[in-house]
Amino acid sequence: MTRRLYPLHACLFALALIVSVVSAQAQKPWLHIDGNQIKDPAGNPVTLRGVSVLPSEHHNECTTCNNKPMSEMIAWQADGSRGWYSRVLRLPVTTAKVKDPATSFATHIDPYVQQAIALNQYVIVDLHLVSNYDVNGSGGVKQQFVMDFWKYVAPRYANTPNVIFEIFNEPVNPDNWTSWKNYIQPVIDSIRAVAPNNLILVGSPQWSTRVNSAVTNPLTGGNLVYVYHIYPNQGAATAANLNTKFGNAANTIPVMLTEFGWNQDPNYSDGVTFGTTGGWGTPFRNYIDAHPWISWQGWIFDNFWKPQFFDWNWNLMSGENQGRFMQNWLFELQNHNQPGGAGGIGTQTPYATHTIPGRIQTEDFDIGAQDVAYHDTDLGNNGNSYRSTDVDLGTTTDIGGGYVVGYTMNGEWLEYTLGSVAAGNYNIGIRSASASSNAGKNITVKLDGVTLGTVTPNNTGAWETWETLALNNISIAGGSNKVLRLEIAGGSFNLNYIEFTPVGLMSTLYEAETTSRWSSGASNTVVAQAQASGGNLVRVSADGVGDFVEYTYTHTGMKNYDVYLGFRAGPDQGTGQVYKDGAAYGSVFDLYSPTTVYKEVLVANLTFYTGQQKVRFTVAGKNTSSTGYQFTHDYIKLVDHATTLNAGSALRQGAGPSLIQVFPNPATTVLKVNGVPEDAAITIRDATGNLRLSQQAEGNDTSIDVQRLRPGLHILRVVYGDEVFTYTFLKE
């Protein structure tokens, strides 16, 4: 149903900057009908979601509007940089001013069709008649007029899979399906004679609201889709009402909603289209999303005809008006049920280095687009913090400070590429906060598609009152470049981090400010900071390479630890290297960040003995973007080093300890690896992941020459079948 602000006035508009040659790359695959669904050539279901624009014949008529060229409107609705992800353009053609099909085609149809094709869209050519149809001289649009229009237009797009034909927008009367079928069937037949493959969209009497009649008395001809138009004047957007209107029919025949919309503002709505986002738009969307075989185009991407997405000055309307809501809807489902059956477009790469065991900050999800590295339900970062993506991030005063994922909604997810995963059993802790009592809140943790478990966030009473949700004794297979996914159900909770701790391993956290320390070349000062884990930081005011701070720990016995540094990264921080007993351990780590953020990183693997153990953090340099060499330490965490295998492994004695022994550690010339099955593969990598040595096991007792390895932390891996044993050692 056409809704507009004012009667039509005669005005023509000159078009520029549109090409008529379509590249092969811009052509979409042919679509076809299978049962009640649109599908691509491979049989994947396709849902066409997009917008209608203003008919170009009426583009300059609004006397209160800031008018835009038609080509700009079409470019805008498919421009992801502007936040618009329409996958199909509905192009109405009214013939109110130009009745000759050839002139209409040349002026008001083909230039815009070619533009939409160049934008990689499907495009619906909509013969936008809102009129009675003539039956035996009853008055209304003559059948021959419709026939002549499509006899001219259809053959010109017969070989263009992007183009879809909507052959009569809104027939009104007679309100009789048989009369309508007798009128429109010959039109369909004439189109099929010249264009056998394009989808044809067919309306029905009473402004395209009689789709139920087609269930028992369908039209003939392949690739037909039945149209329904709906606005708030047709009643509440309840499942019962929508089922009666078109939903029940859509379970049997293909149905597309080529018009729907609402606005609350009386300047941009009328008796047909008046409605609210909360009262009509949201339940309507919930229903449509639950019926993905129903395609749709929102009415109208314009600031003139009602109900508009934009006000007269092209400000996107929001709140109880539909513009922002429609934008977010198209954004969220931009890749859902699109031809090819694939998800998002683009590459996925790590944003930060993640490992298991270890703590993964939720805000450090992978780099990639919507449905590649994450799925978010609305456009933009609502917290306006940390990263310029559509994931909503905010700040926190929780342990370690920094940033959190917030404003969570049902159906969102985040992915993290893990550089290395040590096989074993883990306790998983997920840090969450919520001030919401919403039912159905869940977080599901998956690794390479395998579900590790699901936890339920509680109402902790405030968005900054945190709890740790636990998944205990979870078996995890080892490997590299695995993908961790967090799937959100229900929403309305914040997420700080997820931590993987090997079962049976102990960790001890030493606050930097309470640990015995001294520094050289720089002063060290305790600075109060509420976001720090203990409420304070140690700031080392270094000014060059070689400055250091040294911490002393009293230790009993011999134990190997993974050493994690908690710190506040910032624009004036340097790079560091860990030393113990005069030797460097691990690789150089960088404390720089363009903004202040709390982080935790694995910096070294160290063996402690009985007595005073001194660990030195020395300035190694600075990032080229950094303004200084400072260190700002929060804590040092010592975690028992894990060498864990799955129960029943060929490398394990039943459920007992590993058969493999690796010694000495540290190693100088020869590293012994005992208990290795013959033909097992042995590799050694340095702390940066570079392969340094590879050989086959020589038997139960294997000797490895490590003289040529550089001093520092190394990772030894034994692979036998599908079992992996990982061990770290130090080369002196």
d(CA 487, CA 365): 13
259, β-bridge pairs: 229
Q: Please indicate whether the domains covering 355-502 and 507-640 agree at the CATH topology level.
A: yes
Question: pLDDT value at position 732?
Answer: 83
Q: Say what the pLDDT of residue 722 is.
A: 59
- In the structure, what pLDDT confidence band is assigned to residue 12 with cuts at 50, 70 and 90? very low
Q: With H, G, I as helix, E, B as strand and everything else as coil, classify residue 621.
A: strand
CATH superfamily of 507-640: Galactose-binding domain-like (2.60.120.260)
Residue 412 C-beta-side C-alpha neighbours within 13 Å? 23
| SS3 of residue 149 by DSSP | helix
- pLDDT score, position 689: 63
Beta pairing partners, 631: 540
Q: Is the pLDDT of residue 185 over 60?
A: yes
Name residues whose C-beta falls within 8 Å of residue 271's C-beta, 6 or more positions apart in sequence: 233
Per-residue model confidence as pLDDT tens digits over 648-702: 344 433 333 345 778 888 888 999 887 777 778 888 887 666 778 888 888 777 8
Q: Render 478-523 in DSSP notation, one character per residue.
A: -EEEEEEEEEEESB--EEEEEEEEETT--EEEEEGGGSEEEEESS-
3-state helix, strand, coil in the chain (%, to 5): 15, 40, 45
pLDDT above 80: residue 1: no
pLDDT score of 18: 34
Q: What is the pLDDT of residue 534?
A: 84
Flag whether pLDDT at 168 surpasses 90.
Answer: yes
Model confidence at 60, pLDDT cuts 50, 70, 90, reads confident
pLDDT band, very low/low/confident/very high, at 729 (cuts 50, 70, 90): confident
Question: Which pLDDT score, from 0 to 100, does residue 183 have?
Answer: 98
Mean pLDDT in the chain? 89
What pLDDT is stored for residue 7 in this prediction?
A: 32
Assess whether pLDDT exceeds 90 at residue 728.
no
**pLDDT of 587-625, one tens digit each?**
899 999 888 878 888 898 888 888 999 999 999 999 999
For the residues 305-311, what does the mean pLDDT come to?
97
Average pLDDT (223-233) is: 98
Model pLDDT, residue 313:
96
Predicted confidence at residue 73, as pLDDT, reads 95
What pLDDT, on a 0 to 100 scale, did the predictor assign at position 644? 40
User: How many C-alpha atoms does 248 have within 13 Å on its Cβ side?
Assistant: 11
Confidence of residue 642 (pLDDT cuts 50, 70, 90): low
Architecture of the domain whose range is 355-502: Sandwich (2.60)
SS3 266: helix
CATH of domain 28-332: 3.20.20.80
The pLDDT value recorded for residue 440 is 92
Of 82-91, 213-222, 671-680, which range is least confident? 671-680
> How does DSSP assign 290-354, residue by residue?
T-TTSEEEES-SSSSSSSPSB-TT-PBP-TTSSHHHHHHHHHHTTTTT-TTS----S--B-SS--
Q: Locate 352 and state its tokens.
A: 């930060």
408-411: list long-range contacts, CB under 8 Å, 24+ apart: 408/488, 408/491, 408/492, 408/493, 408/494, 408/495, 409/376, 409/377, 409/378, 409/488, 409/491, 409/492, 410/377, 410/440, 410/488, 410/489, 410/490, 410/491, 411/375, 411/377, 411/488, 411/489
The pLDDT assigned to 640 comes to 81
Torsion of CA 47, 52, 53, 55, to 10 degrees: 120
Q: What angle do CA 339, 288, 4 make, to 5 degrees?
A: 95
Cβ pair 684, 662 in contact under 8 A? no
Q: By mean pLDDT, which of 53-57, 355-359, 662-666, 687-691 is the weakest?
A: 687-691
Strand 611-621: give its sheet, edge to edge.
516-520, 548-555, 611-621, 575-580, 583-590
C-alpha to C-alpha distance for 267 and 262, rounded to whole angstroms: 12
Rounded to whole angstroms, the maximal C-alpha distance in the chain is 107
pLDDT at site 639:
85
712-720 β-sheet, strand order? 691-696, 681-686, 712-720, 723-731
At 648 the pLDDT is 36
Alpha carbon distance 64, 73 (integer Å): 18
Q: What's the mean pLDDT in 129-141?
A: 95
Rg of the chain over all Cα atoms, to the nearest angstrom: 33
CA angle 149, 136, 224 (to 5 degrees): 45
Identify which has the larger pLDDT, 151 or 713: 151
Which amino acid is present at 17? L
Token code pair at residue 348: 């996925």
Count of residues for the chain?
732
- d(CA 237, CA 47) in angstroms, rounded, equals 20
Reported as a single tens digit per residue, the pLDDT across 527-577 is 998 878 888 999 999 999 999 999 999 998 878 888 989 999 999 999 999
Q: What is the mean pLDDT of residues 436-453?
A: 94
Domain ranges of the chain: 28-332, 355-502, 507-640, 661-731
Residue 676: per-residue pLDDT: 78
Q: What integer pLDDT is reported at residue 502 of this predicted model?
A: 85
Read off the pTM: 0.70
pLDDT at 345 over 90: no
User: Contact, 204 vs 226, CB < 8 A?
Assistant: yes
Fold of 661-731: Immunoglobulin-like (2.60.40)
What per-residue confidence (pLDDT) applies to 659? 56
Q: Tell me the HSE value of 376 on the side-chain side, using a 13 A CA sphere.
A: 21
Reported as a pLDDT band with limits 50, 70 and 90, residue 399 is confident
Cα dist from 527 to 80, 536, 537, 618, whole Å: 45, 5, 5, 20
Q: For residue 2, is pLDDT > 50?
A: no
The per-residue pLDDT for 615 is 96
Q: Positive or negative, the Cα torsion across 246, 247, 249, 254?
A: positive
Q: Where are the alpha helices (DSSP H) in 201-289?
A: 205-208, 213-216, 239-242, 248-250, 282-289
Task: Extract the tokens encoding 103.
Answer: 């002139």
**How large a percentage of the chain has pLDDT more than 70?**
93
Give the confidence band of 95 by pLDDT, cuts at 50, 70, 90. confident
The answer to whether residue 333 scores a pLDDT higher than 90 is: yes
Task: Give the DSSP H/E element, type plus range, for residue 76.
Answer: helix 70-77
Is the model more confident about 646 or about 386?
Answer: 386
